[in-house]
Structure 1
């Protein structure tokens, strides 16, 4: 039986190490568009359900398709503006809150540095670090005020610096998503003059859209796609059924 010499063993070990070193670097893939997806979900989900419920309710009152379509388009326009403005104000409020806390934290670092340094030590100790391990980190941060400020904003307050374009982006995304969702249940009324017939097609089209949207939403949010699809569709169906039933009840009274 052949026995490998020491140099061969060394070369074999060396080659193994080299093979590991030249392996492709690990690439981490993280989903970083959570805020945009959230805005799309808000816009589309409301866009599909609210105009759908309105159209179903008017159809239940035997309104002609032209009236249903006019009212539906008016609601889509008003809803898109309202929700877009709401998204803008929400993002603006988050940004204002961040900068208020940033200014306060900056003043505390200047006026009560010992207290702030103790807070850094407390935060690091919560991660299992011992004093001899986190003391150098605390000292290093005290020598770098900006890094210290960033650390406190993120780890003490849990706040991330907002994108300056976030408010406008949120408004546009929510409004556009609302319009896209809101037009779906109204399309049948553009081609079918009789509302009582158009509403049947609208129900089918909207339920399919809700199923598809719920499935996609589940994939992006990490939930079970089929369960998300069913839940989203159920909510839309309940909303439209309630509106249709109320319109029928008012008409018959």
Structure 2
């Protein structure tokens, strides 16, 4: 089968994509939903484990340890979901305000805005007649012009608010589901629950750190150890506070 070449124009004169590596991301944790699951699960393993360990070391009975761990986990999951919704709404409001300002400036000061387009393209090595033609091409369509300024002058992308609620719910459920796992030893083996709980949380953090690294294209071992270190530091501080208070 003949391959496409740059000499074969398609719509609007854009040639077909030359052959190369697969354009789609192939990693397990690369999809947005899976990224939220992995991130939420990693976050959910820490608070319940830390609070339960602290209460256990302070001499609290198993029912109180479980109640404290579950309460902290529930509060953390709900707060995280609501904070995510608030942050995306704030990003959307900022984007809308900046876009309105750019639209007004393109009407009031078109030559100045064209100069800013030229300055951006100039940084990428566009010169001479090619630069002038590129600026005129960008400014020929008002929406495309404003899109260009939002992306390359302000480095802002429009938030996808339609997916915010689902992403927040997925993350909260992942936090809650993963956070319950380190609490199970307090039900199954109360006598040695703290050690088993920390072991379960540690193994989970290593696995989730590895998955996150695979999704981000980073070295899995180093990322897994970093995630484990963060969790261990949080649990260690909680245990230290419990010792001091007790």
Which of the five TM-score ranges fits, normalised by the shorter chain? 0.7 to 0.9
> Separation in 1 of the partners of 2:123 and 2:25?
27
> 5 Å matches for 1:161-240?
161-192=158-189, 194=190, 196-240=191-235
Q: CA RMSD in A?
A: 2.4
Counterpart of 1:120?
117
Deviates more, 1:172-181 or 1:85-94: 172-181
How far did 1:37 drift? 5.9
Residue pair 2:35, 2:212 contacting (<8 A) in 1 also = no
Q: 1:27 to 1:136 in 2, by over 3 A?
A: same
> Separation in 2 of the partners of 1:54 and 1:84?
20
> Separation in 2 of the partners of 1:133 and 1:186?
64
The number of aligned residues is 231
Which of 94, 98, 105 is matched with 1:97 structurally?
94
* Unaligned stretches of 5+ residues in structure 2: 6-17
Q: 1:94 to 1:41 in 2, by over 3 A?
A: farther
* Unaligned stretches of 5+ residues in structure 1: 1-17
Residue pair 1:89, 1:167 contacting (<8 A) in 2 also = no
Counterpart of 2:23?
29
Residue pair 1:65, 1:198 contacting (<8 A) in 2 also = no
How far did 1:127 drift? 0.9
Counterpart of 2:139?
142
